[in-house]
Structure formats: C-alpha cells, structure tokens
Amino acid sequence: MNPIARLEETLPTDVARWIHAAEGDLSRAWRNCPRPDWLVQIALAVGVDRSLVVHAALEVATDAVARHPISDLRPRRALMTALQWVGGRVPGTQCWAHGFAATEVAETLEGPAADAAYAAAFVAFACDDQADDSFYAHRAYAALAMTHAATTLELSRACQTIRERIPLPVVLERFEVASRPPPPLPLGLDPAEISDSFYC
C-alpha cells in the first residue's frame, strides 16, 4: 500500500475522500481544501507539531469569538491560556481547566455564540503535551474546534488562516517522514513507540 493510501486510512472518511478526489496529490488537496477542520485533520495525521496546529486553530477560534461577542470572559480566557501554552509558559492541565470553564459557558448559549465558545474550549483541550501522537491525532480536539468555528465564519477565510500558520512545505515534510518505513528492530521492541511512520 502506498503512503497516500495509508494516510487516507488514518483520516475520517470525508477527509480521506477529499484527498482521494485529488488523485492522491497531497499538495493539491491541501491548497484547495474547503474546510478548516479537514486541514487540521490532515496536519494531525501527518504529525505536524501540535503547538503549530494549536496556534492555527487558536487564531480561527479567536476570530469566531470576536465575531460573536460573549459577555462571559471564560472562552476568551481559554484562548489566552492556550496562547500561553503555545509559547511554553503554562502546562496543558491549566488549559484544560479553562477549557472546561469555556464549555460551561457554551452550554448556556445558542447558535453561533455557542459554537464560538465551544471552539475556544476545544482549542484549550488541544493543549496536551502528554498524549502520544497517535492518540492526540485520534482525539483531534483542534479539529473539533475548527468544526465549531466553521459554523460561525467564512470558510475560505478560516482555511486561509490555517494554511498561513501551517505552510504546505511543513505538511509535506512531515508526510515524507511519516511515509518512511521504520528500520528493522531487535525482537521485543515495538516500532510504534519510536517511529512516526504510517507503517507502524
């Protein structure tokens, strides 16, 4: 199985179909992708640095919150704490606490304001420096943040923000790394523990 097919296997069905429709051309799929959550899913699947992914999602979620003002400050605090995490100034646990607080606010709201607050909460939940890469990509909190933000924003603008924060060369470089089969290992070692390859 070729690397693109392996990548498609790791992605949600709708994202995999998008890449397949681009005839396996990851560059074309990335440049033309119409949804910010799909872009984030692709970035997570190839192993783009999670702080880069969070920063991209953070900017989109911040735009969503700004466009749908929420009197309660907890969603904004969740975003500010996430920005501190991106800069290495706070631990993920602190972000999660703010994420739960933002979720409480979202549950009291309706429509775009609720989605904006949920976007802020999921960005905070994406600030996780403990989970291994495959589990982190599976939970995909940053992509969930974009799913909520996408209902409140112009999609093309949100996608542009993601592509500016996560440039195509970064995605292609990570895809190349993930496409390399791991070297043979001594018996008893699990390749998934030491390799980012799709082959693990």
**What was the pLDDT predicted at 83?**
98
CB atoms under 10 Å from CB of 148, counted, come to 24
Evaluate whether residue 33 is within a structural domain.
yes
For the chain, give the longest Cα–Cα distance: 58
**What was the pLDDT predicted at 137?**
84
The domain of 162 spans 3-178
Q: Tokens at residue 32, please?
A: 């033309």
**What was the pLDDT predicted at 138?**
81
| Amino acid at position 99, single letter | G
Contact 11, 130 (CB under 8 A): no
Contact 65, 119 (CB under 8 A): yes
Evaluate whether residue 199 is within a structural domain.
no
Evaluate whether residue 82 is within a structural domain.
yes
The total number of structural domains that make up the chain: 1
* pLDDT tens series, the chain, 200 aa: 688 988 899 899 999 999 999 988 999 999 999 999 999 999 999 999 999 999 999 999 999 999 998 999 999 999 999 999 999 999 999 999 999 999 999 999 999 999 999 999 999 999 998 888 878 888 899 999 999 999 999 999 999 999 999 999 999 999 998 887 766 666 666 656 655 555 55
**What was the pLDDT predicted at 186?**
63
Q: Which of 154, 175, 169, 171 lies closest to 36 in space, CA to CA? A: 154
Q: Tokens at residue 195, please?
A: 């390799």
**What was the pLDDT predicted at 45?**
93
Evaluate whether residue 188 is within a structural domain.
no
Evaluate whether residue 195 is within a structural domain.
no
Q: Tokens at residue 11, please?
A: 């992605």
Evaluate whether residue 38 is within a structural domain.
yes
**What was the pLDDT predicted at 139?**
87
Contact 8, 14 (CB under 8 A): no
Evaluate whether residue 109 is within a structural domain.
yes
- Helix runs in the chain, H state only: 3-10, 13-21, 26-32, 36-46, 50-67, 74-86, 92-106, 111-125, 133-139, 141-150, 155-165, 168-179
Evaluate whether residue 185 is within a structural domain.
no
Nearest-10 Cα torsion for 17, 150, 75, 41: 20
